[in-house]
Amino acid sequence: MQKILFFDDNSLSIKKNFKRKVKKFKLISKTPYIDPSSEVVSLSWAYPSVFYIKKLKKYVVYYQGWSVNYQKMNHNLPLMAMSDDGINFYAVASESYFSYPNKILFNQTLPQDLDDLKYSESQFFELKNAFKDFKYICLALYKNKHNEHIAKTFISDDGLIFRLDPNLVWHEGVDAPDYAMSIIYHKKYKKYAIYKRPAHTDRRIGLSFTKDFKNYTKPLVVLSTDGLDQGLSDMYSTYMMESEGFGYIGFISVYNTPNSLGTSSLPGHKFKGGNVVLQLAYSEDGIIFKRSLRDDLLPKESNMMCGYLSYKISLKDEDRYYISGTDEPHGYTTPGHGKISVFSMRKDGFMSLDTNKNGLIITKPLLYEGGDLKVNLKADYAFFSIKDAYGKLIQGYNFKDSVRFSGDDASHVIKFKSKKINELKGQVLTLAVRLSKGSLYSIQGNFKVLTPHEAVDQLKKGDL
C-alpha cells in the first residue's frame, strides 16, 4: 500500500485551482489539565505520555512538573495522573506503584535522588516491538552538583511499576539531551530510532539507532531551523510518527527566540521570552526530512503561546494528540499557566489541497497493482477519472463514468458505474480527481509512483 500526501507536488503532474493548506488541530478537552500543586510545579514542559492500562481499565498519564521557583526547589518532579476517557485527567497518589523516600508531591513517580544525583527530566514510552522483560521504557535525566546531566533508564513490563536498569544507558557522557524526544521502531532497519537533541541545550533534532537500548549509533542531525523560519529560531523538540504507505511525519516545536545575546545563566542560551510554534516535517525514510508550509498547527482556542506535542493515540477515524504548553512567553512559569490539552485531527488531516471552485489534480504515472483506490476528502462533490500513462482516456473510466461523491470520508473507495478498477491491474495509469469546494487530504492504494523513465520501462515490459 502506498499513500500520497500533499506536503509537496512530487506525485502530481497537474494541479489546477487548488491551494495547499495546513489544518489546525481541534481542541477536544474542555478544560486543560493543570497539576493540583501548581504553586510548586508548572506543566509548561510536561511532555505527557498516555498509556491505556487494561488491568486498570484506565489511561495513565506520565508527565513532568517544572519547578515554579528554582531558588526554592532547583529541580523538577516526575508526576502521574489517570483518566477514564483519555481526555479528562485527575492526579492520583503514586504510592502503590512508586514507593520512594523524600517525596515532595503525592503523585510523584521516579526517585527524586539517585546516590548524589538529583532528578531533572524524564519521558515515558511504550515500545511496539517489546522486549521479553519490558514493554515500557523511561529515558530520564539526573544532574549532579556541577549541573552535569547524566542519562538513566527505567523499564516496566506493565506500564505501572518501573525499575532502574543500570545496564541501559541511552546517552554517554555528562551532556545528556533535554526533552522532548520520540521513539519509533523502524521496520526496514529492524531498529529503534530515537529522535532527540544531539546534546544538552543543542536545539537541533538528532537521530540515533539502537537494537537493544545498550548500544547506539552516533547522533545524526536530521532537522534544524533554516532561512525560511521566522529568524533567530531554534528547533526545540519533535514528535515523530510513522505514516503507513508514506513514510514519517514530524510535529516539530520551533522556538522563535528573543532578539538578545542570552536570557539564562548559560552564555548565548535563549530561555526567557519568545514563542514556540508547532509545525510539520516529513520524510520517506525517517532519516532525510523536509519541511513544507510553516503554519502553526495550534488553533487560537488552545490559548498556547508555546506548545509541545509529545504523544498520539490512534482511533478509528481520527488521531488524538497530547500537547503541553503555556499561554505565557517561553521560560515563564507563573502558577496555573502551564497545562496539558488534548486535541484531535482526522486521519492524515494536517495538510490538504483546498479549492473554492472546480479543482483538478492528475497524478504522475502509477504502476497499479490491484485493489481499491481510496481518497481522503471532504467536498460538495467529486468525480474521478483514470487515464493511461500518457493521459489518454480509457473507455469506461472517464469523469462521467465515475460514481459521484458528496460529503466527508477519510477512506472513500473510488468506483465507476460499469467498470471495475481492478480490471486495470498491472497497468501504468494516471488518476485524476475533480473536486468542488472542499479539501483533498490523501490518495492511497496498491500502486507505485513512477518516474518517466520507470514508466517507459514498465510499458515495454507490459502488464504485470
When pLDDT is cut at 50, 70 and 90, the band that residue 128 belongs to is confident
In degrees rounded to 5, what are phi and psi of residue 400?
Answer: -65, -20
- Res 22: pLDDT: 99
- Res 464: pLDDT: 59
Mean pLDDT over all residues of the chain? 96
- Res 234: pLDDT: 98
pLDDT in tens, 45-82: 999 999 999 999 999 999 999 999 887 888 899 999 99
Tell me the average pLDDT across 163-170: 96
Question: Is 317's pLDDT higher than 90?
Answer: no
The residue that leads in pLDDT, 100 or 81, is 81
- Res 261: pLDDT: 84
Domain regions of the chain by residue span: 2-22+355-461, 26-348
On whether the 2-22+355-461 domain is CATH 1.25.40, my answer is: no
Tell me the average pLDDT across 292-319: 97
> Distances from the Cα of 76 to the Cαs of 24, 111, 170, 323, in angstroms?
31, 12, 20, 19
* DSSP tally for the chain: helices H, then strands E: 1, 29
- Res 456: pLDDT: 95
When pLDDT is cut at 50, 70 and 90, the band that residue 462 belongs to is confident
Same fold, 2-22+355-461 and 26-348: no
When pLDDT is cut at 50, 70 and 90, the band that residue 165 belongs to is very high
When pLDDT is cut at 50, 70 and 90, the band that residue 265 belongs to is confident
pTM of the model: 0.96
Question: Is 221's pLDDT higher than 80?
Answer: yes
Tell me the average pLDDT across 186-203: 95
- Res 396: pLDDT: 98
- Res 266: pLDDT: 87
In degrees rounded to 5, what are phi and psi of residue 452?
Answer: -55, -40
Superfamily for domain range 26-348: Glycosyl hydrolase domain; family 43 (2.115.10.20)
When pLDDT is cut at 50, 70 and 90, the band that residue 368 belongs to is very high
- Res 75: pLDDT: 87
